[in-house]
Structure 1
C-alpha cells in the first residue's frame, strides 16, 4: 500500500468539493484475499498500539464519524477496522431516529453525552450530520417533529446555514480541547447499493438488515447527493476534514479508512509516561520483593 495517498480523499475546505467528481471505486490496493487480510492485520495492529499509547498518554481522545447512504458498509467497516483494537479503548455509538428524550434537547445533545473520554476513540455510526442530511431532504422532520420555536424555523435556508456554523464551531472546540474529529463519507454508487439491497432480500441470513424505508430513501438519491455535497463544502475545515472514501469495494474501503486513522493517531504528539530515576529505583526494588515472595 505504499502507493496509497490518503490525502487524495481528504477535503478541508481549501477547494470546492464536487461529489460527482469523486470515484466510488479505485484500483485494488491488495493482490488477493490473503494479501488484503495481511494488510488489514498490519494496520489494525498499528491502531491498537497507537490507541494504547493514547490511553497511557491520557491527553487526547479521537472522534470518528461515519456517514453514508444505506448499505454503504458503515457497520462492517467499523467492525473490521477496529477488530484488533482493545475494546476498552473504544466507545461505539449508533445514532437512530431521535427518541422523545433526545427531541427535548438541542440537536447536538445526544452526541455530546456520547463523546469519548481522553485516551479513547469514539466511533459514531451516523451523527449530528443527520440534522443537515436526512432532515434537509425531509424538512417536515424539522417543522413537525422537532420542537424548535416557530420563529427559529421560519426561514429554513437560515436554519441550515446556522447548523453548518454550529457544527464547524463545535468541531473546532473539540479540536482545541484535544479531541480531533475525523469524518468519513463512504461513497457508494447507486448501482452497488441496489445490488447490496437485493442481496439483503435474497439472503435469509441478511433479511434482518433490510428495512423497507431503505428503498423509500433510495428514491431521494439525487437529493441526498446534493445535501452531502453541500454539507461537506460547508463543514470541511483544516481541523476537521472530511474523507470521501470509495465504497463500492469494501476491502479497499476498510484499508483506506484504517490507514487514515493510523496516520491521524501518529500525527498526535503522544508518548508513554516517563519514569524518573527515583521511580525507576523503586521499581527495581519491587522486582526483588516479588521474586522473594
Structure 2
C-alpha cells in the first residue's frame, strides 16, 4: 500500500499556488489507484472504530477547492468503509437568516464532530475569507458593528478575521480535535472540461449553474485569496495540504494516505482495556451464554 510523501503536499512555508502541480497519477492506471484507495480506506475505517472506542479525540477534515474540484466524490469514496455513526458530513451553503444572526464562526462551531467521531466540512469556515473577500458586499449581510459600507472592509478587517480563524482552530485543537485541511488544487482547463461534461451529460445537468461561469471569470482573484488564506492559516496544529486535483482518483489516494499516516502517529489512540473484574470473569460470562 502506498505511503505518499506528505512533505510534497503539506504547507510548511509560504506557497505559490501557480508553482504547485495540479495533476498526480503516480504513473498508475485509474483501476490500480482505485484498488489502492480501497485498501487505505479500509484501514481508515478500522482506525475510526478505535477512535470511537477511545473517545478522547475527534477528527475534523476541511475540504476547499474551486467548483468541480471533486469534493463530493472524494467524500463519498474515502469514507465508504466508515461506520455510519462515526462520520458526519456538513456541506455549508449560503448562511441562513438564523446563521446571520450569529457571528460567522457559530454555524461551524456547532457542527464540530463529537469526541470519537470524524467530521467533514465540505466547504468550510474559510468561505468567510474566500468568497466574501472576492465579493466583500456579502459581508454587509453579517451586520457587523462599525462596518457601514464596503469601504470599511479593509486589509485590517481581513487580518483580524484570519486571527479569529487561527484562534478558533487553536482552541478546538487544544481540546482534542485533530484538524486536517485540504485544498483540492484544480487547473482552470480541467475545470472547463468538467463544466462542459456537466452540460454534455443529461444526468449531470442539474449540477450546472450559470453562476459557475460568472465565478470562473474571477479565477485569478480566487487563486490569490486561496493562496493568502493558506499561507496565513497553515499551522502545526491545523496544517493545510495542497492536493493536485486534476485526476480525481489520484487526489483521493493522496488525501486518504495523508490522513492514515498522520492519524497513526497518535499512539495513545487505542481501544480501552476491560477493567480487572470483567477481565477475570470473561470465561464465566462465556459459559453462561453457551449454557443457554
TM-score (norm 1): 0.95
1:246 to 236, 244, 248: 244
- Tell me if the contact between 1:137 and 1:223 (Cα under 8 Å) persists in the aligned partners: yes
Question: Residues 22 and 173 of structure 1: is their aligned pair in 2 closer, same or farther, counting only changes over 3 Å?
Answer: same
Q: Deviations over 1:175-229 (max 9, x none)?
A: 1111011100000000000000010011000011111111110010010000001
How is 1:47-196 mapped onto 2 (pairs within 5 angstroms)? Answer: 47-143=44-140, 145-151=141-147, 154-196=152-194
Measured in 2, the distance between the counterparts of 1:189 and 1:33 equals: 19
Equivalent pair of 2:182/2:243 in contact (CA under 8 Å): yes
Q: Which residue of 2 aligns with 1:209?
A: 207
- For 1:180, what is the secondary structure of its paired residue? strand
Deviation at 1:100, TM superposition (A): 0.6
Deviation at 1:2, TM superposition (A): 4.1
User: TM-score w.r.t. structure 2 length?
Assistant: 0.95
Deviations 1:33-59 (A, max 9, x none): 332222111001010010001000000
How many residues are treated as equivalent by the alignment?
A: 289
Q: Which residue of 2 aligns with 1:5?
A: 5
Conserved 8 A contact 2:136-2:153: no
Deviations 1:100-136 (A, max 9, x none): 1111100000001111000000000001100000000
CA contact (8 A) 2:91 2:121 kept: yes
Of 104-113 and 34-43, deviating more is 34-43
Q: Output the CA distance in 1 between the equivalents of 2:117 and 2:3.
A: 30
Distance across 2 between alignment mates of 1:152 and 1:257: 42
- Paired with 1:3 and 1:287, the residues of 2 have a C-alpha distance of 41
> Matches of 2:31 and 2:189 in 1, distance apart?
27
- Offset at residue 236 of structure 1 (A): 0.7
Partner Cα separation in structure 2 for residue 238 and residue 127 of structure 1: 19
1:151 Cα deviation after fit: 4.6
Whether the aligned pair in 2 keeps the contact of 1:30 and 1:36 (CA below 8 Å) is no
Stretches of structure 2 lacking an aligned partner (at least 5 in a row):
none
SS in structure 2 opposite 1:67?
strand
CA RMSD of aligned residues (A): 1.4
Q: Which string of whole-angstrom CA distances, capped at 9 and with x for unpartnered residues, describes residues 248-286 of structure 1?
A: 000100000000111122122201101243221222211
Secondary structure class of the residue paired with 1:65: strand
Q: Secondary structure at 1:248's aligned position in 2?
A: coil
1:292 to 2:291 alignment: yes
Higher mean alpha-carbon deviation, 57-66 vs 279-288, is at: 279-288
CA distance, structure 2, for counterparts of residue 152 and residue 63 of structure 1: 35
Q: Verify the 8 A CA contact 2:2 2:257 in the aligned structure 1.
A: no
